[in-house]
A and B are shown apart, each in its own frame.
Chain A
Amino acid sequence: MNKRSLYVSLAIMVIVITIVTLMAIPVAQGHTLIRGTAAILIPSVFVSVVGVMTLIGMNKTNSKGFDERMLKARGDAALNAFVVTLITILCIGFVSEFTDGALPLTFFEASMVSAMTGVGTFIIIADMQDAYLGMKEKRKLSAICFGAVGFFIVLTVLSGISRNPNADNVVTMLSLGITWIAVSVEMFIKMVCDKRAEKMETADEES
């Protein structure tokens, strides 16, 4: 990852963390007034992030950001994520339909759960095939950051529920937090696997 991409990625992470924090504080206090703001903020954040990532991707076509194997792996991951998102939407729909609305999800919350499932699936599958942002450097730091933010969001939501069981955006924030934690766990597992594989390869090369 070159310096420019690293700075852009860090800037995106800071912006996302700031917005998530700003959204999480009212939830933690059990307020229910954030629904309207969140409905605008969350899609805005995702559109911004996707936009910036697309711009980086466009600039990377001529650089060594992704090689052909990575591009193929990312394509496969995107397809898998798409399928998983569709299945999630269908599952939510079916469960909601067959339980006569016992699943208390609004359309916005169901969309967010589906979207976060898709995003998480893409990141995890792509990263398992060493194709997510070519992220090899600062991997431990990234995993810790993802995990810390995820835990922060989940703890904040739990704190909010304990103060006000009817707090808004609980499902949305939980899906966001769980996705980040899942990505963090995957990154840690991948790190351990990579270390073992490297040891085996080194031993193999020496023999």
Chain B
Amino acid sequence: MENLLSLFEYRFFQNALLAAILTSLLAAMIGTYIVSRKIVFISGGITHASFGGIGMAYYFGINPFLGAVVFAISTALGIEWIATKGKVREDSAIAILWSLGMALGIIFVFLTPGYTPNLMSFLFGSILSVGTADLWILSGVLILTIVFFILFFRPIVYTAFDPEFSKTRGLPVALVRNIMAILIALAIVLSIRTMGIILVLSLFTIPQNTAFLFSGNFKPIIFGSAIFGVTGSLIGLLVASWLNIPGGAAIIFVLTLQFFLIKGIKLLASQKK
């Protein structure tokens, strides 16, 4: 216990805690949108395709974050475009972009001469190595997302709920959905830093589903997701440090446990009535 408390004095651990909080808040908003629109699979495609960008960025010696952002945004807009134009089956298109991105990533990482980046940290995240620059970027995107959600909350919800009807009411449906696609891509790429490609979607889906147990309305679900996401990832991070296991995996374990515990309690409570 003493050791655990002393962790809080270290810069790297403070950064990790901050990253967990900021990512959870970002995921609360974006994740509620993803889950409500049932585009979790699309988000999976965006996440994995971004690995292609990371690999290419390493090969050409540029910032891997930048490469991931470019790949993620083009995938997000690409899928949105395919979905509206509808010439290819959407789920097939997602699967193609998903695996193509991963393949490109692996090829370019393999071709990169000399130092090969730690693949594990991209796949599973490395929350303990989050730097100050990462935190600044994360805060920036978080603020951007909060402002967009506050200003355009109703158009975001309405165009997600019933795009055809929204069109008849003169809403710029395509614009709102494209901006959301970009925000989804940014949020996912930034969360890859802490959670890794394989684990990141959990942060965008598990707390939301826990919040769904309490509400059937968009706004309360965002707040609920924020509460469950922050508490779950903080507890997960502490458990990880205590047991000396990877942070991302521990966070997911705690989030899932939280979901089933609450679901179980609610189930028992409803049976007692």
Q: Do the two chains bind?
A: no
> Which residues does A use to contact B, with CB under 8 Å?
none
